[in-house]
Amino acid sequence: MKIKKIKTSPRHEIIDEKQFREVVASNIVYYRKKFSLTQLQLAENLNYSDKAISKWERGDSLPDVYTLQRLATFFGVTLNDFLTIGRKPREPLTIKTRILISVLAAGLVWLIATAAFVLANMIKPDLVSITWRFFIYAIPLSSIILLVFSLIWGNNKLSFTFFSTLAIGVATSIYLSIFQFYPQSWFIFIALVPVELLGLFWFFLRKIRTTPKE
């Protein structure tokens, strides 16, 4: 009985380990340079050592699948872009673009808060003693947006900063809304202590889970 030979298209060409290492290495170099990052800067963002990045880019070793996915997420591309042969990788989102997207998204919250403040005071000027709180309420809302983006793009330090701002913003918003009815509502700020500590612990564990490997 004859065994039929399966034909593969160039796009799905089967390659050996050496070629695979070269493809991954060249794509990591491409994206890193596209972001104008040094090996050390990329290593810090991934919680790896610069020696590990150097080995990947030389093809001496390969990042595991989880790390490849983190690289893809960080550069704003798909995992397949790191494994593609004979095709120019797509243009990644640069750091400046990411900052612009984040600022615009968070800025939209403040635009809405400002519009609500102006409109409310035009309709009823004597509400100014209350409507200024719109700007306080905008703090946790914009922090949520910035926290989501920082988690997607893998910046642990910024993620904790936005988490902390979110917690403080929520506590302040609740306090300002109820302190007239509940004079002891300032105790809510005491609850911030364990929340901040739990947040710090969670981000610390998250960092350890991706601790540098040589």
**Residue 11 pLDDT:** 46
Amino acid identity of 203? F
**Residue 17 pLDDT:** 76
**Residue 117 pLDDT:** 94
The CATH number for 34's domain is 1.10.260.40
Rg (CA), the chain: 24
Within-domain flag for 130: yes
Whether residue 85 contacts residue 15, with contact meaning beta carbons closer than 8 Å, is answered with yes
pLDDT per position in the chain (214 positions), as tens?
Answer: 443 433 444 444 556 777 888 888 888 888 888 888 888 888 877 878 888 899 999 888 888 888 888 888 888 788 887 777 655 555 556 677 778 888 999 999 999 999 999 999 998 888 888 889 999 999 999 999 999 888 877 677 788 889 999 999 999 999 998 888 888 888 889 988 888 888 888 877 766 655 544 4
Q: How far apart are alpha carbons 136 and 173 in whole angstroms?
A: 6
Tally of domains within the chain: 2
Within-domain flag for 2: no
**Residue 112 pLDDT:** 95
Q: Are residues 184 and 104 in the same domain?
A: yes
**Residue 210 pLDDT:** 53
Within-domain flag for 169: yes
Residue where one domain finishes, among candidates 82, 105, 125: 82
**This prediction's pTM:** 0.57
Within-domain flag for 87: no
Within-domain flag for 5: no
**Residue 1 pLDDT:** 43
**Residue 6 pLDDT:** 36
